[in-house]
Amino acid sequence: MYRFARVCLSGILVVLLGGCAVSPKDNPAIPESLRIRKDVLLDKIKGGWAGQTIGCSYGGPTEFRFKGTMVQDYVPIEWNDHYIKSWFDNFPGLFDDVYMDLTFVSVFDRLGLDAPADSFAVAFANAEYVLWAANQMARYNVLHGIMPPASGHWLNNPHADDIDYQIEADYSGLMSPGMPNAASEISDKIGHIMSYGNGWYGGVFVGAMYSLAFVLDNPMDIVTEAIKVIPLESRFRQCIDDVVDWYRQYPEDWKQTWFECQKKWSEDIGNPNGVFEPYNIDAMLNSAYVVIGLLYGEGDFFKTMDISTRCGQDSDCNPATAAGILGTMLGYSNIPAYWMSSLREVEDIDFAYMDISLNETYKMSYEQALQMIVRNGGNIEGDEITIVCQQPATVPFEEAFTNQYPKRFIPINKTIDAVGSFTFEGTSIVFRGGVSSEDKLYVAEVEMYIDGKKEETVFLPADYRFRRDEPFWKYQLPKGTHTVEFKWLNPKAGITVHLADALVYSDTPNRIAY
């Protein structure tokens, strides 16, 4: 694990607002220290969790219905006093944003702040909930002995750039109030279980925004200070900097900023389901949608949540993040009452797959924040807390899918025993497909050979919870023509291993010449 520089400005605390000392609006610099009452700290932590839950519920009906297009103004998004409860009752899996966070919160609760990465990895890999994308591939990797950080590295995880850790990093900032580098250290340990590059940066950025929402009192400052944790040379940083610049250029028109973002940053090169498709869960683009909501929402809870939703793609997760950050800034007691009656109806109900409710989450997160404050030089005296604030330190540069340029999809649509020799020209290949079996205990054992050399023996569970999303892949081959062959070692009557298609990469991009 790398270390972060902890450097604080020698700023002066000048205003007492809502029980905590903050910097004035015209000076967004993070103070050297923050004095805050215990009840105010708890109120902000509760606001973060509440905002996340409300935002996830609000965006739920639009999730992945608007891929590559915005949710137009005429599309109604419903809400009522029992709305969140209806999701709890009828589709509790919507709250994967929250119960994935709670998996990590519960490990900290059991094992303390120094719990190792393996403990978090094993906890979520063996959890009962279904996973997707980077999380699912990390689950597969961990259960097959590939532990973090290798489990999230792009050579082992075709979904490394995906949104997964971004939507479950809220906890890191909520337990690190005013201490974005402490949040980044946590994310180094946990975020690399399932992510790398953009996928990891998404969680680091979100953790920093939550952390700074305890200290700064407007969304622009939160965004522009938090993005300092991301390296300048990264595409992620450049994308978010662009969104801030476009906001300044088009301050009254979020749709124009959305269009500019689509033109420049909407290509997905990693996730095999998003390459050559409008579907995009790259953390970079979806973080941009979070930022569009925060900036154009201007501190208004509904407006922030609605704009992040209407940016489309993963449009329950993005408003959940935006509303959680704003809820932290505003505090639980300042979230408009219109949204709170529906939330209060579920605060004592355990989330699906967990034995933890929101009310229990508030307490656990608060206790962890107190421990982090003391660990990082702060102190607690009676009802008063002093936090030693941190100036954002830039995390190391990392990039997934380096020099990987999508070339084409090749349809296959054959069972693996009917494929024979498969030839392609390029530098990398990812196969989509899976196992079809009534016997959920069955695990196909298949050897993959490239150019006559056995690359690996792959175990493909029929059980969807333990599946390998993409059954085979190989990156960084020499440029040229390659032949792939498969040997199914344990075929069984009534079971098929199907290959749908293959995504081929080259070392140079496809370009249209006019």
Q: Are residues 257 and 344 in the same domain?
A: yes
Q: Is the pLDDT of residue 99 over 60?
A: yes
- 481 in a structural domain: yes
- 8 in a structural domain: no
Q: Are residues 453 and 321 in the same domain?
A: no
Q: Are residues 140 and 201 in the same domain?
A: yes
Of 337, 363, 388, the residue at which a domain comes to its end is 388
The 3-state DSSP composition of the chain as helix, strand, coil percent (nearest 5) reads 45, 15, 40
- 5 in a structural domain: no
Range of the domain at 419: 405-506
CATH number of the domain that 423 lies in? Answer: 2.60.120.230
Q: Is the pLDDT of residue 22 over 70?
A: no
Q: Are residues 425 and 304 in the same domain?
A: no
Q: Are residues 431 and 348 in the same domain?
A: no
- 233 in a structural domain: yes
Q: Are residues 229 and 103 in the same domain?
A: yes
Q: Are residues 232 and 368 in the same domain?
A: yes
| Rounded distance between C-alpha atoms, residue 223 and residue 208, angstroms | 9
Helix and strand totals (H; E) in the chain: 18, 13
Structure tokens at 215: 């200290």
Q: Are residues 341 and 436 in the same domain?
A: no
- The count of C-alpha atoms lying within 13 angstroms of the C-alpha of 207, restricted to the half-sphere facing its C-beta, is 32
* Residue 58 CB-density burial (10 A; 0-12 exposed, 13-18 middle, 19+ buried): buried
Q: Are residues 447 and 312 in the same domain?
A: no
Alpha-carbon torsion 266, 270, 275, 278, what sign? negative
Q: Which amino acid appears at position 241 of this protein?
A: D
- Per residue in 443-494, pLDDT (tens digit) is 999 999 999 999 999 999 999 999 999 999 999 999 999 999 999 999 999 9
CATH number of the domain that 48 lies in? Answer: 1.10.4080.10
- Sorting pLDDT into bands at 50, 70 and 90, what band is 511? confident
Q: Is the pLDDT of residue 112 over 70?
A: yes
Cα–Cα–Cα angle for 153, 369, 383, nearest 5°?
170
- 490 in a structural domain: yes
Mean pLDDT to the nearest integer, 354-380 = 98
Q: Are residues 364 and 478 in the same domain?
A: no
- 514 in a structural domain: no
Structure tokens at 2: 């790398």
Of 388, 415, 437, the residue at which a domain comes to its end is 388
How much is the pLDDT for 513? 85
H or E segment and range at residue 202? helix 198-212
User: By the 8 A CB rule, do 331 and 321 touch?
Assistant: no
DSSP-derived secondary structure letter, 32: S
Of 357, 388, 419, the residue at which a domain comes to its end is 388
Neighbours of 247 (CB within 10 A): 21
| Rounded distance between C-alpha atoms, residue 262 and residue 257, angstroms | 9
- Sorting pLDDT into bands at 50, 70 and 90, what band is 316? very high
- Per residue in 140-196, pLDDT (tens digit) is 999 999 999 999 999 999 999 999 999 999 999 999 999 999 999 999 999 999 999
- 238 in a structural domain: yes
What's the number of domains the chain is made of? 2
How much is the pLDDT for 17? 36
- Sorting pLDDT into bands at 50, 70 and 90, what band is 27? low
- Per residue in 211-265, pLDDT (tens digit) is 999 999 999 999 999 999 999 999 999 999 999 999 999 999 999 999 999 999 9
Q: Are residues 250 and 176 in the same domain?
A: yes
Kindly report the pTM of this predicted structure: 0.94
- Per residue in 32-83, pLDDT (tens digit) is 999 999 999 999 999 999 999 999 999 999 999 999 999 999 999 999 999 9
Nearest CA-CA partner of 24 in 37, 36, 11: 11
- The count of C-alpha atoms lying within 13 angstroms of the C-alpha of 254, restricted to the half-sphere facing its C-beta, is 24
User: By the 8 A CB rule, do 430 and 473 touch?
Assistant: yes
User: By the 8 A CB rule, do 320 and 55 touch?
Assistant: yes
Mean pLDDT to the nearest integer, 403-427 = 96
- Computed over every residue of the chain, the mean pLDDT equals 94
Q: Are residues 310 and 456 in the same domain?
A: no
Structure tokens at 165: 């850790």
- 119 in a structural domain: yes
